[in-house]
Amino acid sequence: MGRPIILALLLGVALPVAGRAQSLPVNAHATVTSSVSIARLADLSFGAVALVPGVPATVSPANGGMARVDYNEPTTVTAPAFLMLGGPAGALLRVDLVCASHATATATAPVTFPAGCAGGFATPISGNVGGTHYVYIGGTLAAAASNAALAGSYAGSFSVTVTYVVY
């Protein structure tokens, strides 16, 4: 009889109270908005000297038009593969574009877009911040295109486009 009584008393004293510790996680979240811009710095010019019909003319990207891209996320920069310049009496003259990029605005040998202007170029980004890249645009006037062209002044425009995810 004595042993059960002693056991009961011990139970009464030693039964543990429920656990009293807990870990509780919450999530913290923030969104940094997109900040991407593009600005034209220079036009693509074949110069003031008149071109000779049937003779090809080329302006290298380093000596052509230029646009500046500021970004804080990966962007894709594209331009058309060619454009048609408008001339006298509605004449058209095809110019094929050549695009290149560099991190500085004074590169003498910017890196040509791997898949042409229409294929685009992905701005590089690493670490916590974005950056700035420059797009160089040159042009080529084929001999065949200029051979039959009417004499006169030709002009046109094209867009350089940046594509990115909006946050």
Partner 1 sequence: MMHRPSFLPLVRARSRQLAAVAAFALCAGGAPVAAQPINATVATGLIVDEALIAAAIQNLEFGSMSPGGSKLVSAKDAQTCTDGCMSGKWRFQNLSKKGSDRRANLQFTALPDSLTGPGGAKLGVAYNARACVYNRATNLSVGCVTQGSTTQGSTLVVPINKVPGSFGDTSPPMSRDMYLWIGGTASPRPGQRAGDYTGVITVFFFYTN
Which residues contribute to the site for partner 1 (CB under 8 A)? 1, 5, 8-9, 11-13, 15, 17-18, 20-35, 72-73, 125-131, 165, 167
Decide: 49 and 57 in contact? Cβ < 8 Å: no
The tokens describing 128, both together, are 């916590």
Shortest separation between residue 133's beta carbon and partner 1, angstroms: 13
Distance (Å, whole) CA 92 – CA 134 = 29
Nearer of residues 86 and 131 to partner 1, judged by Cβ: 131
Q: Least separation, in Å, of the C-beta of 76 and partner 1?
A: 14
- The 8-class DSSP code of residue 7 comes to H
Q: Which is nearer to partner 1, 92 or 125 (CB)?
A: 125
| Smallest separation, CB 143 to partner 1 (Å) | 45
Instruction: Report the distance separating Cα 136 and Cα 156, nearest Å.
Output: 17
- Residue 90: DSSP 8-state: G
Query: Smaller CB distance to partner 1: residue 2 or 90?
Result: 2
